């Protein structure tokens, strides 16, 4: 009994433990709350949350690259795209249309890992020659890679379906599934269950399981010898190398593991949407994920997850709904003229609000870096370092410019 109390007490001081606990409870209660609040028509919201989970997976993966190993990856969406397209190729009729002439229908559970492996290999291939470069050069290389990959998928003609992309991908299946009032149906055991858009809660549950799986994996890595090596490389590559860390292979591992997570998320994305198109993997995706990691707290897994939740909520729920709400607000205040467009170039308040998405996004990025560079839920180690760096900067600016 005392042991349990000690456990609770020691974790109450640990913001990460609290964050994990709150996120777990929130994830479990979310579908029920949504269904209750919307009177049973909240399936759409649950599906949106499952999409948010994709971003969360990517944030956890990018956190390994940027937060743990300190490598700036600006083309993270490329691996996402590779994962999605791999899934699309091995789990649809599409390969039958290509010169190969024979379509593959690998089950979702295996295809998920194929997507992951292919993305990881792409990461290793890109990383091997470029990880020797110094920090910002790596950022440029990954940026270039991120611009190339979607364009290659767009241009590769019959192999990738060109501009329209590949549609009608296989959906995940399970031998059975529980149905219940949480999806507005009676309790039932459904044999040979297929994930469809009619049951988005299933996707949501699957997403939670995948995230839990990845978090446990990454957390173990972080606490292992490898995790400490990442930290050493991030803080001082030369010192790490002098202490016997093989910096190139350590960085390569971080890069590939990040790419693998992204590919994993990509495969899920393909399955959920049942469709891939090169338009969905632009630079904005990479930046959004990076912003999530930075907002949440670089180098801290629950931080990256929290950042993903907050930013996803802002970008994919608040901002898309803001125009209509502003319009309502304007008319309820009797300012209907604000809603009409006029010949002087005023396009109506709804349009202005929807156009200002990037302004808000930019302000968030700049604002965090200036006001709270350690993020919402900072890594305790990283926080110390930042503090340390600040003192050092005041004492001897020379040291830090190196």
Enumerate binding residues for another protein (CB under 8 A): 66, 70, 72, 129-130, 132-137, 139-141, 143-145, 147-148, 151-152, 154-155, 283, 287, 290-291, 294, 298, 345, 347, 351-352, 355-367, 369-370, 373, 386, 389-390, 393, 397-398, 400-402
Which of 99, 129 has the CB closer to another protein? 129
Token pair for 299: 């180098």
Which of 25, 366 has the CB closer to another protein? 366
233 φ, ψ (degrees, to nearest 5):
-65, -40
Minimum separation from the CB atom of position 73 to another protein (A): 11
User: Beta partners for 92?
Assistant: 104
**Cβ proximity of 300 and 219 under 8 Å:** no
Minimum separation from the CB atom of position 160 to another protein (A): 13
Which of 205, 259 has the CB closer to another protein? 259
Which of 3, 391 has the CB closer to another protein? 391
Which of 96, 367 has the CB closer to another protein? 367
Half-sphere exposure of 252 (CA within 13 A, CB side): 15
Largest Cα–Cα separation, the chain: 73
- Number of CB atoms found within 10 A of residue 325's CB: 12
Minimum separation from the CB atom of position 288 to another protein (A): 10
Half-sphere exposure of 210 (CA within 13 A, CB side): 31
Token pair for 141: 């290389």
Minimum separation from the CB atom of position 126 to another protein (A): 8
Measured distance CA(336)–CA(346) in Å, rounded: 13
Measured distance CA(64)–CA(250) in Å, rounded: 12
**Integer CA distances (angstroms), 190 to 50, 204, 207, 210, in order:** 21, 17, 19, 22
Measured distance CA(273)–CA(217) in Å, rounded: 26
Minimum separation from the CB atom of position 319 to another protein (A): 11
Measured distance CA(125)–CA(353) in Å, rounded: 42
CA–CA–CA angle 268, 273, 279 (5° rounding): 100
Which of 8, 148 has the CB closer to another protein? 148
Sorted by sequence, the CB contacts under 8 Å of residue 8 that are 6+ apart come out as: none
Measured distance CA(185)–CA(179) in Å, rounded: 7
Minimum separation from the CB atom of position 355 to another protein (A): 5
Q: Are strands 91-92 and 173-179 parallel, antiparallel or unpaired?
A: unpaired
Measured distance CA(26)–CA(17) in Å, rounded: 14
Minimum separation from the CB atom of position 134 to another protein (A): 8
Which of 199, 256 has the CB closer to another protein? 256
94 φ, ψ (degrees, to nearest 5):
-60, -40
Which of 241, 351 has the CB closer to another protein? 351
Which of 24, 148 has the CB closer to another protein? 148
Minimum separation from the CB atom of position 336 to another protein (A): 21
Minimum separation from the CB atom of position 31 to another protein (A): 33
Measured distance CA(162)–CA(41) in Å, rounded: 36
User: Beta partners for 177?
Assistant: 190
Minimum separation from the CB atom of position 28 to another protein (A): 33
Which of 207, 294 has the CB closer to another protein? 294
């Amino acid at each position: 009994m005392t042991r349990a109390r000690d456990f609770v007490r020691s974790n109450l001081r640990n913001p990460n433990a609290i964050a994990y606990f709150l996120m777990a409870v929130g994830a479990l209660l979310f579908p029920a709350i949504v269904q209750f609040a919307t009177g049973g028509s909240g399936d759409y919201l649950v599906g949106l949350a499952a999409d948010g989970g994709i971003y969360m997976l990517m944030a956890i993966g990018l956190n390994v690259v940027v937060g743990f190993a300190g490598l700036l990856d600006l083309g993270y969406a490329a691996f996402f795209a590779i994962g999605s397209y791999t899934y699309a190729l091995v789990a649809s009729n599409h390969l039958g249309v290509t010169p190969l002439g024979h379509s593959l229908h690998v089950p979702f559970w295996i295809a998920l890992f194929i997507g992951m492996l292919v993305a990881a290999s792409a990461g290793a291939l890109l990383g091997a020659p470029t990880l020797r470069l110094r920090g910002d050069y790596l950022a440029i290389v990954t940026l270039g890679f991120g611009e190339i990959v979607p364009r290659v998928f767009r241009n590769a003609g019959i192999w990738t379906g060109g501009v329209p992309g590949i549609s009608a991908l296989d959906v995940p299946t399970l031998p059975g599934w529980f149905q219940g009032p949480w999806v507005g149906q009676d309790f039932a055991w459904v044999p040979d269950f297929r994930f469809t858009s009619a049951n988005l809660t299933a996707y949501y549950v699957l997403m939670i399981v995948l995230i839990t799986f990845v978090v446990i994996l990454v957390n173990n890595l972080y606490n292992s010898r490898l995790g400490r090596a990442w930290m050493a490389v991030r803080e001082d590559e030369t010192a790490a190398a002098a202490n016997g860390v093989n910096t190139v292979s350590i960085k390569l591992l971080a890069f590939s593991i990040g790419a693998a997570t992204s590919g994993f998320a990509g495969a899920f994305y393909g399955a959920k949407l049942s469709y891939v198109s090169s338009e969905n993997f632009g630079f904005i995706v990479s930046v959004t994920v990076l912003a999530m990691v930075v907002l949440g707290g670089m180098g801290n897994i629950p931080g990256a997850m929290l950042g993903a939740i907050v930013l996803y909520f802002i970008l994919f729920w608040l901002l898309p709904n803001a125009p209509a709400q502003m319009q309502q607000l304007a008319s309820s205040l009797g300012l209907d003229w604000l809603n009409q467009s006029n010949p002087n170039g005023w396009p109506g308040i709804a349009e202005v609000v929807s156009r200002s998405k990037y302004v808000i996004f930019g302000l968030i990025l700049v604002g965090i870096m200036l006001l709270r560079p350690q993020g919402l839920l900072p890594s305790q180690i990283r926080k110390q370092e930042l503090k340390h760096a600040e003192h050092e900067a005041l004492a001897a600016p020379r040291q830090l410019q190196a």
